[in-house]
Amino acid sequence: MMLAAHRYRRAAEGMALAAGFAAAAGCSNSYDHPPGLQGCTGPGCGTHGGVSVGGGDAAADVLVDAEADSDAAATTSLSGKIVVLADARFAQPTPLVGSGTMRVPTPAGDQDVNFTSTGYKADNVLVGAGWFSVFPDDKSDDAGLGLFGTWSLQDVPASGSTTFDLPVLSRTLLSTIYNGLDKPTSPQSNAAQVVLVFERNGQRLSGVSLTSHPSCEMVAYDLGVGFSTQSSSTSDSGLVLLVNTVGTGKVAWKSTDGATDDLTIVHVPGQASYAVIDVP
């Protein structure tokens, strides 16, 4: 089963994250400061765009510029399944047996969509890069994984396949990883958990270091097998964990061959965020 994670890439001349969306909708990149959905209710409300303090009306929505005609925005219909990432490499998705709600970006703001064990279907979804969120209900945890509500960055194509399997992360997995760190800890309810996967051409990338990031308890890099807060770059699994994230600011990185870039990560207290980043 293929998990459709966003392959974030910015060209050397400085192409914006949402270039495909901007071209279609006639507006500039809105991912650095994503506006909130008016009248937002439910688990996805509270913070956005790397802000991790609670309260307020601020879901991580991507809206068409006020001066642009929302009817002109490129949209598509998506379908797929909700999958759980519960292995230590975050690489073996298994179908979630259960139901819940999700939020998808549309020209009018985030749209609530229900899902079941058979999957989901969402219409009028914006083409381009956007944050999707999945919130399993309390009965969707038969395996005892302690599932997080999970935000993931996805790249919706204008054409081709529109089947997306959207991830949720396991609290049990992250608790196990955190307990094995150099300084053991656990996921905190007033903080967000951020999992970053660095790839190149679809392959996990070693030698990637973060040069800045939101405030968090600690940063853990993969060791190929296991994680360490003493390491300074990714190993064979290409993974970086921002443990108990509470601050604001972009994630910026560099690779051993000199590639650099940055990205605003949506993170919400008590929830998890997941992004696959394609390093040029």
Chain centroid to CA 58: how far? 16
pLDDT digits over 162-199, tens only?
888 999 999 999 999 999 999 999 999 999 999 999 99
Binned at pLDDT 50, 70 and 90, residue 134 comes out as: very high
Give the CA count within 13 Å in the CB-facing half-sphere of 248: 8
The angle formed by the CA atoms of residues 34, 268 and 105, to the nearest 5 degrees, is 40
The answer to whether 216 touches 222, Cβ cutoff 8 Å, is no
The domain segmentation of the chain, as residue ranges, is 19-278
- Using alpha carbons only, how large is the chain's radius of gyration in Å? 17
Q: Which two tokens stand for residue 65?
A: 């510029």
Strand-pairing partners, residue 166, are 82
- The pTM assigned to this predicted structure is 0.79
Separation between Cα atoms, residue 139 and residue 155, nearest integer Å: 29
Handedness of CA 181, 190, 151, 30 (dihedral sign): negative
Query: Among residues 202, 214, 259, 268, which one has the least CA distance to residue 240?
Result: 214
DSSP state of 72: G
Separation between Cα atoms, residue 71 and residue 75, nearest integer Å: 9
Average of per-residue pLDDT values in the chain: 79
Q: What is the secondary structure of 150-179 as a DSSP string?
A: EEEEEEE-SSS--B-PEEEEBHHHHHHHHH
Binned at pLDDT 50, 70 and 90, residue 22 comes out as: very low
- Give me the pLDDT at residue 113, please: 97
